[in-house]
Structure 1
Amino acid sequence: MARDYYEALGVSRDATPEQIQQAFRTSARKYHPDVNKDPGAEDRFKEINEAYHVLTDPQTRKRYDRFGDDFRHVPEDWEEQARAGAGMGGRGGFRGAPGGGRVRYGTGGFGGGAGINIEDLFGDMFGGGDMFGGDGGFGRVPGADQEAELEMTVEEAYRGGKRQISLGDRNYTVSIPAGVVDGQRIRLAGEGSRGSGAGPPGDLYLVVRIKPDKRFRLEGRDIVADLPVSPWEAVLGASVAIRTPGGETKVKVPPGSSTGRRLRLRGQGMPNPKGKPGDLFAEIKIVVPRESTAAERELFEQLAAQSTFDPRRSR
């Protein structure tokens, strides 16, 4: 059993989306592996990242609240299937593997996956009906759902678009929504295992995996990008260019900026088809020249002689 997502973020079960986002940002900055080198920090970051993705998607959160740790094994349209089943006098079918089993794609072919018992899960909704037609036979067995991982870069996830993929001897053209996040599932209806008899095929779910990127770090839908600046730009302020997944843009560095300061570009993070997009944070990194000319050294020496600033006392 995975840790409760609400507990992982430190919020109550009736927390608002804004409270969840704020809790995530606070924890993400604390545990991000780029800033926290303690053992276990990376696992903790992954945990809160997963919790954030689940609880900020209204439909996914609804499934999690209803089914707990088994929510990933429940189709996104489970409510429609439940209503359809109830409308047929309690004998509606639930698409999935017999007995709730699942099949997953892996690098070594197919493998079994633990699931949930569909009849136990939905028996009260379907009035205890038989998913095989009510006569105990196996003339109409639905096919099992399948999963495969789909790797992409931050920029690919940001833009979305069409992508050609191959799984075994099957080729697909997949429409990727702009702003997909790590762990998000893209459903290809009817592309899972074949059913038996007149049973419908299962679905294929592509699980998005975002590759690590030296330029961009993801914190939920927020994007963090390093912004290298010179000492004089940090002291005097400047307007400098920064590369983002959406292209190059300008950001104003306020005078007196230190390394680690974050400048927010609202709405320029990962797109969100279901709501508010993330923000982009330009994180200042003061960079000094590896080698200085004689004139540059003289200027720095003059600054050192004139300045009373002590960075170790100003913290």
Structure 2
Amino acid sequence: MKYKDYYEILGLERSASQDDIKRSYRKLARKYHPDVSKHADAEERFKELGEAYEVLKDPEKRAAYDRMGSDWRNGQDFQPPPNWDEGFEFSGAGSGPGEQADFHDIFEKMFGGARGAHPHARQRSFDARGEDHHAKVLIDLEDAYRGAQRAISLQMPVVDAQGHVSLETRTLNVTIPKGIRAGQHLRLSGQGAAGATPETAGDLYLEIAFRDHPRFQVDGRDVSLELPVAPWEAALGAKVTVPTPDGSVEMTVPAGSASGRRLRLKGKGIPANPPGDLYVILNIVLPPADTESAKAAYDAMRQAFNFDPRAHFYR
């Protein structure tokens, strides 16, 4: 997708107030309205202005847009940074940005479709029941195995008296239940927008995602890792120690195993009913021939085996 600099489109600095955004849009919309403009690209410019205004007029959409960074150039190839929305609290009905064609679609997805702009992100008229809020949070894979108590920091946009958007941070103590999976939601009762009474406050829904792990990959309830093994362990078989997110276990490597072989440790994935599995992918690692004795060992192996690794390669 191509980056669209909505501030540049509206002729504004990123420090512009919400009133500045409204004034600039109205001025440019009159200039490029297809019914009155003589510019050859009036229709395209008018559509572009409308898209930029739809995002920047809304404090939540604007703050989300700003989180993607300010170093991109208009028209530059662009992908939102990984987990750019982590800890971003918003009041829309969506559950995440997903993979979309352009920025406008991202915000339509994230915030549940077009909504009227709020004059103040925190100063809404109270309904009988407060509005629900949403946020995506990252947890460690180990927390899904064991459960945990974690302090989660969230940021939500607010508009100050001068009409500038900033982020207000709050920290919540959250119980991570054992067995939770990526994509599931935790409901925190009464932690959304305020209602007419404390008992009618909205709820906060936390969408769970896992932080990148240096060792494990996750697919639903199943977990996998790549395990280094020596050539003789793969050829002759061996008992090896395998790390899991919940401690180490012993595993048998069958004799005659090839690199890339997948071995299943049943029930060692994310706890559930039934639990997931842990898949161990063997990676045969060759010892270096960096000493005379090591070179001699490799030469003895060459002479001991009648082995051509490319015997069937050229057929």
Partner Cα separation in structure 2 for residue 158 and residue 265 of structure 1? 15
Equivalent residue, structure 2, for 1:259:
259
Equivalent residue, structure 2, for 1:173:
173
Equivalent residue, structure 2, for 1:245:
245
Equivalent residue, structure 1, for 2:191:
191
Structure 2, gaps ≥5 residues long? 1-90, 98-107, 116-124, 155-167
After TM superposition, the score normalised by the length of structure 1 is 0.54
Asked which structure has the greater RCO (Cα within 8 Å, sep 6+), the reply is: 2
Of 276, 279, 286, the residue aligned with 2:277 is 279
Distance 1:213 1:166, change over 3 A: closer
Equivalent residue, structure 2, for 1:295:
293
Equivalent residue, structure 1, for 2:221:
221
Shift of 1:197: 6.1
After TM superposition, the score normalised by the length of structure 2 is 0.54
Distance 1:225 1:164, change over 3 A: same
More divergent stretch after superposition (236-245 vs 148-157): 148-157
Partner Cα separation in structure 1 for residue 114 and residue 197 of structure 2? 23
Secondary structure of 1:156 counterpart: helix
Identity of matched residues, %: 39
Summarize deviations over 1:4-60 as a string: whole Å, max 9, x none: xxxxxxxxxxxxxxxxxxxxxxxxxxxxxxxxxxxxxxxxxxxxxxxxxxxxxxxxx
Letter of the 2:136 partner, please give it. Answer: E
Partner Cα separation in structure 1 for residue 94 and residue 195 of structure 2? 13
Letter of the 2:230 partner, please give it. Answer: S
Summarize deviations over 1:246-302 as a string: whole Å, max 9, x none: 111111111111111011110001111xx2010011110001123433222212212
Count how many residue pairs are aligned between Structure 1 and Structure 2. Answer: 191
Partner Cα separation in structure 2 for residue 115 and residue 142 of structure 1? 21
Summarize deviations over 1:128-149 as a string: whole Å, max 9, x none: xxxxxxxxxx995321111112
Letter of the 2:212 partner, please give it. Answer: P
Partner Cα separation in structure 1 for residue 141 and residue 285 of structure 2? 25
Partner Cα separation in structure 2 for residue 228 and residue 239 of structure 1? 13
Equivalent residue, structure 1, for 2:304:
306
Equivalent residue, structure 2, for 1:159:
146
Partner Cα separation in structure 2 for residue 139 and residue 148 of structure 1? 21
Whether contact under 8 Å (2:181, 2:221) holds in the other structure is yes
Whether contact under 8 Å (2:289, 2:295) holds in the other structure is no
- Report which of the two has the higher share of helix: 1
More divergent stretch after superposition (183-192 vs 153-162): 153-162
Distance 1:140 1:233, change over 3 A: closer
Secondary structure of 1:141 counterpart: coil
Distance 1:180 1:165, change over 3 A: same
Alignment of 1:42-191 (within 5 A): 102=93, 113-114=111-112, 141-167=128-154, 168-191=168-191
Runs of 4+ that moved beyond 6 A = 103-106
Partner Cα separation in structure 2 for residue 252 and residue 293 of structure 1? 31
Equivalent residue, structure 1, for 2:121:
none
Partner Cα separation in structure 1 for residue 136 and residue 231 of structure 2? 44
Shift of 1:102: 3.5
Secondary structure of 2:179 counterpart: coil
Secondary structure of 1:240 counterpart: strand
Secondary structure of 1:302 counterpart: helix
